[in-house]
Amino acid sequence: MTLLKVENLKKYYSSGLFRRQVNRAVDGVSFELERGKTLGLVGKSGCGKSTLGRTVLRLLEPTAGKVFFEDREISGLRGRELKKLGTEMQIIFQHPEASLNPKMRIYDCIAEPLRIHGLCGKEAEKTRVLELIGGVALDEELLFRYPRELSGGQLQRVVIARILGLKPKFIVADEPTSMLDPLVQAQILTLLKKLQQDCGISFLFISHDPAVVEWMSDEVAVMEGGKIVEFH
């Protein structure tokens, strides 16, 4: 069953004198993603992969095209409706430290989305945070530390736990392991696979590494110059 459908999506940027120069970052991309599946997106740096992921999530406004989530067009959502959509569609960034407030302890980093969206009361919050950090195989004692005290792999697990608290159906994973050493990279990729099996999450998995994309994905799209030029 199709969860996400993208039709002729475009994201252009204008620059130069009188804004006559146009950068076609995403130029007429279409694809579908089924529930519980992963579409891998591979291509050279600058080909538009990250821009596509952010535009699908409405972190960037599309220039043209349509995005359907669970058969509902989301391209024009605003305000409260767009905020609600944020619990169902999430992103894992390349640099996990950029997703966390350096002044907050790990406990509060994980609990913050629960509080913002009113997903559980104060009494249930601690239990939920413990469930989430256990689900990404981290020790409870890390909850009392600050982001600067954790390794890159630990930080990425915290980010994943933070996202899982919202129970998303779709996640854009934008180069989530490229800054990690090979052993930790393998651990994070295995964790994402397990979470997909346990929770039925669909992924748009973005990477410049074809081997990683092939291992993670049910289908692979090759992007070049803002366009998808091949599916396999």
pLDDT per position as a tens digit, 162-173? 999 999 999 999
Residue where one domain finishes, among candidates 134, 167, 200: 167
> Which pLDDT belongs to residue 19?
63
CATH number at residue 180: 3.40.50.300
Residues 140 and 45 in one domain: no
From residue 154, how far is each of 10, 161, 177, 187, 204 by CA, in Å?
Answer: 35, 11, 12, 11, 22
Asked whether the predicted pLDDT for residue 70 surpasses 80, the reply is yes
Residues 77 and 123 in one domain: no
Which tens digits make up the pLDDT trace of 151-160?
999 999 999 9
Tell me whether residue 225 is in a domain.
yes
Residues 4 and 63 in one domain: yes
Asked whether the predicted pLDDT for residue 4 surpasses 80, the reply is yes
Tell me whether residue 93 is in a domain.
no
> Which structural domain range is residue 221 located in?
1-88+168-232
Residue where one domain finishes, among candidates 152, 167, 182: 167
pLDDT band at residue 22 using 50, 70 and 90 as cut-offs: confident
Residues 143 and 196 in one domain: no
Number of domains in the chain: 2
> Whose structure tokens read 């905020």?
83
Residues 5 and 72 in one domain: yes
Which tens digits make up the pLDDT trace of 91-136?
999 899 989 999 999 999 999 999 999 988 888 999 999 999 999 9
Whether this model's pTM surpasses 0.75: yes
Residue where one domain finishes, among candidates 140, 167, 194: 167
Which tens digits make up the pLDDT trace of 183-198?
999 999 999 999 999 9
Residues 19 and 82 in one domain: yes
> Which pLDDT belongs to residue 77?
86
Residues 20 and 114 in one domain: no
Tell me whether residue 111 is in a domain.
yes
From residue 122, how far is each of 19, 112, 128 by CA, in Å?
Answer: 51, 12, 10
Mean pLDDT, the chain, whole residue set: 94
Residues 38 and 143 in one domain: no
Residues 3 and 75 in one domain: yes
Q: Report helix angle 122-135 to 106-116, nearest 10.
A: 120
